[in-house]
Structure 1
Amino acid sequence: MKNLAAGLALGLAGCAAWAQDQPSQGPASPERGRALLLQRQDTGCVLCHQIQGLPAGGALGPSLHGLAERSSPAQARERIADARRFNPQTIMPAYLSTEDLHNVAAPYRGQTVLTPQAVDDIVSYLFAKPGGALGATP
């Protein structure tokens, strides 16, 4: 498990520079969120989670089907930002935190994996109504 977490963190670190350079794109967009969730190398979300409306994902993390029934958008955003606040042993990357990270390559130190805009976009997709604009189905 530790090797998987280390590999995922190293792989995701490469997208940090890209994320930092992107300007805010305005209001949260479920369409951008869906695209981010599908980017296996940039976010890694579908590597570990089953996500409603997306092709089959992994089973390392909890299924995100029915997330809106058991969580709020704010709670989901907090977990994506830094799941270590809830479970210090998690293998989920800290997408909006640079605190207490070790062995980070020099060019990526002090940079987050995703931007706040990207996390907002992901949350907007996860909480989009089934059958809505994106056609997500249970």
Structure 2
Amino acid sequence: MTVLGLARVWALVCSAGWGWVVAQTPVSVPEPLSLASAERGKALLLQRQDSGCVLCHQVQGLPAGGALGPSLVGLAERSTKAQARERIADARRFNPQTIMPAYFSTEGLNKVANPYKGQTILTAQGLEDILSYLFLPTTGTP
């Protein structure tokens, strides 16, 4: 990982305020998009410097990930896409002490680097692409 990549991940973690700040207003969860791509989702999951997902989570079909967050292997067996969408969008709604970045919220964040102020980490399309990969049937991956 490059120094710039590490700086971006650090900015993501710091922007979540290490879970100490709870969003004052409910986050707007994007509506599902019909053109989601599991292939693009896989690429996003693998981008340690952009999404950071594999830094903390094990993901089926991807190289070894981290063990800080829960495993995402078999997520479709214990969650719905709608539930996963809400947690990825802003996990603080479910656990105010989480260190998971708020991927689709800009509310209540602290110490956000200037270039990232007012921007969500994921776009609505990126969020749907990741969900598309995470909810692939276990027999096939792109």
Same fold (TM over 0.5): yes
* Aligned-partner residue type, residue 102 of structure 1: N
Q: Helix, strand or coil for the counterpart of 1:88? A: coil
Paired position in structure 1 for 2:55: 47
- C-alpha RMSD of matched pairs (Å): 2.2
Alignment counterpart, residue 78 of structure 2, candidates 51, 70, 77: 70
What is the 5 A alignment of 1:114-129?
A: 114-129=122-137
Structure 1, unmatched stretches of 5+, are 1-5, 14-24
Task: Note if 1:10 corresponds to 2:18.
Answer: no
> Whole-Å Cα distance in 1 between the matches of residues 63 and 114 of structure 2?
35
**AA paired with 2:109?**
L
Displacement of 1:109 in angstroms is: 1.4
Match status 1:35 vs 2:36: no
Gaps of 5+ in 2: 1-6, 15-32
Once the two structures are superposed, residues 114-137 of structure 1 have per-residue CA deviations (whole angstroms, 9 ceiling, x without a partner) of 101000000000000122252xxx
Query: How many pairs does the alignment contain?
Result: 118
TM-score, structure 2 length as denominator?
0.76
TM-score (norm 1): 0.78
Stretches (4+) displaced over 4 A: none
Name the structure where helix makes up a greater proportion of residues.
1
Distance 1:88 1:12, change over 3 A: closer
Match of 2:25 in 1: none
Percentage of identical aligned residues: 70
